[in-house]
């Protein structure tokens, strides 16, 4: 037996015990200093019961196992797994907000997806799911602001979900929206599909209303969104807040959380996110973006703050991630209003990253970037191939890799490597406070 190359040991408050996390299988256990040192030095205990526990958590593995090959197998299996097909549909590039950091719609027509293109997209979804023998189908409504065109959203969802039901395919719905156009009726419609809805909230009212303003009235949207949040209280649709962290929003976060709590909205799931300015269309906002080194200090503080105020932070548990995201999965597509297809919504409007288009008969016509994206192999990337965090990030963001290095085939190292330890601590304190509060606080 030998120690796993994917072990991470996190010291507890008094350093007498360690949280052992294995990034290849996602196991969490508590070990004492003596056992931690024995594992690190490959001086493994002879006690068969202890060895079995270490095997089960993958802290130790058989001498013949090559864990890099195990990871590579997992990576390729997930990349080419066609059972889950995901279609993110940009209904329109138009929006009723004018947010200073948004690149969507820059130099693009604001016309919504035409009726003819909607029919092509529906055909493309059906053809792809049948060809790939999909068991699950997810549609994400995206924009611009998708609910500027509610009838297009409904046609797309209702036709594909009904078709999926006939063919025994499980249907999933999600939506990314600014939230301002959601009525009680629309929320009820989303609820009928158990939809996952994400709405941005940029700090407390004073800053949010500066960032997220209506483009024609030039007024803020904070109070309007608070009313919309109420619609989700007894809904089967789940609401997740995408809270942008910038130099201006960060100082208002506690005030924002206190306000939401005062209004009885602790059922919401806050997801603290950073804003990048890599895209030329939003370069003017770069002075408000936090540096990576600042984010790695700020985000754990916000997780702790939200937990103490009674919120359950979204997407907190570190995961085994054979793929960095769905962008390099063969069964994931971002479709814009004219039928151009991208692999990631961060890349829309950038023609160099168009991976295909929908043909007249609803088939995918691929371009070279499609194969270039899927050929990315983190086990060959310097800075990734020997990293113990590899199974948790899989090479990181392809967009960041491309922006920084001019190629998908480079490290997109980001938050996972630097935040995983603090993220795991926050998760354990949130979910198991009785077990870990004395060890970690």
Q: How many CB atoms lie within 10 A of CB 213?
A: 18
91-143: pLDDT as tens digits: 999 999 988 877 665 556 778 999 999 999 999 999 999 999 999 999 999 99
What is the per-residue pLDDT for 14? 82
Q: Which helix (H) or strand (E) holds 51?
A: helix 48-56
48-78: pLDDT as tens digits: 899 999 999 999 999 999 999 999 999 999 9
Tell me if 438 is assigned to some domain: no
Scan for tokens 């001019």, then name that residue. Answer: 406
Residue 147 shares a structural domain with residue 295 = yes
Tell me if 358 is assigned to some domain: no
The total number of structural domains that make up the chain = 2
Tell me the mean pLDDT in the region 207-211: 94
What is the per-residue pLDDT for 245? 93
Of 58-62, 144-148, 361-365, 417-421, the one with minimum mean pLDDT is 417-421
User: What are the phi and psi torsion angles at 22 (to 5°)?
Assistant: -110, 115
Residue 198 lies in domain: 76-308
Orientation angle between helical segments 115-132 and 150-166, nearest 10 degrees: 30
Tell me if 260 is assigned to some domain: yes
Residue 299 shares a structural domain with residue 190 = yes
Residue 168 shares a structural domain with residue 257 = yes
Q: Let me know: does 7 contact 59? Beta carbons within 8 Å.
A: yes
Residue 46 shares a structural domain with residue 97 = no
Average per-residue pLDDT for the chain: 92
We report the CATH number of the domain holding residue 89 as 3.20.20.70
What is the per-residue pLDDT for 45? 84
Residue 119 shares a structural domain with residue 95 = yes
Q: How far, in Å, CA of 94 to CA of 112, rounded?
A: 7
Q: Which two tokens stand for residue 418?
A: 């630097």
Q: Which residues pair with 138 in a beta bridge?
A: 86, 172
Q: Which residues pair with 22 in a beta bridge?
A: 7, 27
Scan for tokens 């910038």, then name that residue. Answer: 246
Tell me if 328 is assigned to some domain: no
Domain boundary among the residues 65, 89, 113 is at 65
Residue 44 shares a structural domain with residue 174 = no
Q: How far, in Å, CA of 130 to CA of 107, rounded?
A: 36
Q: Let me know: does 212 contact 202? Beta carbons within 8 Å.
A: yes
Q: Which two tokens stand for residue 162?
A: 């009904």
Residue 215 shares a structural domain with residue 150 = yes
235-248: pLDDT as tens digits: 999 999 999 999 99
Orientation angle between helical segments 292-308 and 415-431, nearest 10 degrees: 10
pLDDT at 370 over 70: yes
Residue 7 shares a structural domain with residue 105 = no
Tell me if 368 is assigned to some domain: no
Select from 368, 362, 364, 363 the least CA-distant residue to 354. 368
Residue 33 shares a structural domain with residue 84 = no
C-alpha distances in Å from residue 122, one per residue of 127, 129, 164, 176: 9, 11, 11, 19
């Amino acid at each position: 037996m030998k120690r796993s190359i994917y072990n991470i040991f996190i010291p507890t408050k008094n350093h007498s015990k360690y949280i052992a996390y294995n990034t290849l299988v996602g196991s969490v256990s508590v070990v004492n200093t003596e056992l931690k040192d024995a594992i690190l030095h490959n001086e493994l205990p002879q006690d068969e019961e202890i060895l079995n526990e270490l095997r089960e958590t993958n802290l130790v593995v058989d001498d013949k196992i090559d864990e890099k090959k195990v990871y590579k197998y997992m990576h390729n299996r997930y990349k080419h797994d066609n059972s889950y097909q995901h279609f993110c549909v940009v209904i329109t590039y138009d929006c009723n907000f004018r947010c200073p950091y948004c690149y969507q719609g820059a130099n693009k027509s604001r016309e919504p997806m035409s009726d003819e293109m909607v029919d092509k997209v529906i055909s493309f979804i059906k053809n792809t799911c049948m060809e790939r023998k999909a068991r699950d189908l997810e549609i994400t409504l995206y924009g611009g602001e998708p609910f500027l065109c509610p009838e297009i959203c409904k046609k797309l969802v209702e036709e594909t979900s009904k078709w999926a039901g006939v063919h025994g395919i499980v249907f999933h719905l999600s939506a990314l929206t600014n939230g301002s156009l959601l009525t009680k009726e629309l929320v009820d419609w989303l609820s009928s599909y158990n939809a996952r809805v994400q709405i941005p909230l940029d700090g407390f009212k004073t800053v949010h209303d500066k960032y997220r303003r209506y483009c024609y009235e030039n007024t803020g949207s904070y109070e309007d969104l608070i009313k919309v949040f109420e619609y989700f209280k007894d809904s089967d649709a789940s609401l997740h807040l995408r809270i942008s962290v910038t130099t201006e929003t960060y100082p208002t976060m506690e005030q924002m959380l206190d306000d939401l709590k005062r209004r009885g909205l602790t059922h919401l799931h806050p997801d603290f996110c950073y804003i990048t300015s890599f895209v030329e269309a939003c370069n003017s906002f770069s002075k408000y973006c936090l540096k990576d080194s600042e984010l790695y200090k700020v985000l754990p503080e916000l997780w702790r703050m939200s937990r103490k105020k009674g919120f359950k932070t979204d997407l907190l548990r570190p995961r085994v991630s054979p793929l960095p995201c769905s962008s390099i999965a063969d069964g994931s597509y971002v479709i814009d209003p004219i039928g151009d297809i991208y692999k990631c919504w961060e890349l829309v409007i950038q023609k160099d990253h168009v991976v295909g288009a929908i043909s007249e008969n609803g088939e995918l016509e691929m371009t070279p970037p499609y194969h270039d994206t899927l050929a990315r192999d983190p086990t060959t990337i310097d800075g990734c191939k020997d990293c113990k965090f590899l199974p948790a990030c899989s090479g990181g963001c392809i967009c960041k890799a491309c922006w920084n290095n001019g190629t998908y085939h480079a490290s997109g190292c980001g938050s996972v490597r630097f935040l995983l330890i603090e993220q795991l601590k926050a998760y354990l304190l949130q979910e198991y406070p009785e077990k870990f509060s004395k060890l970690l606080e």
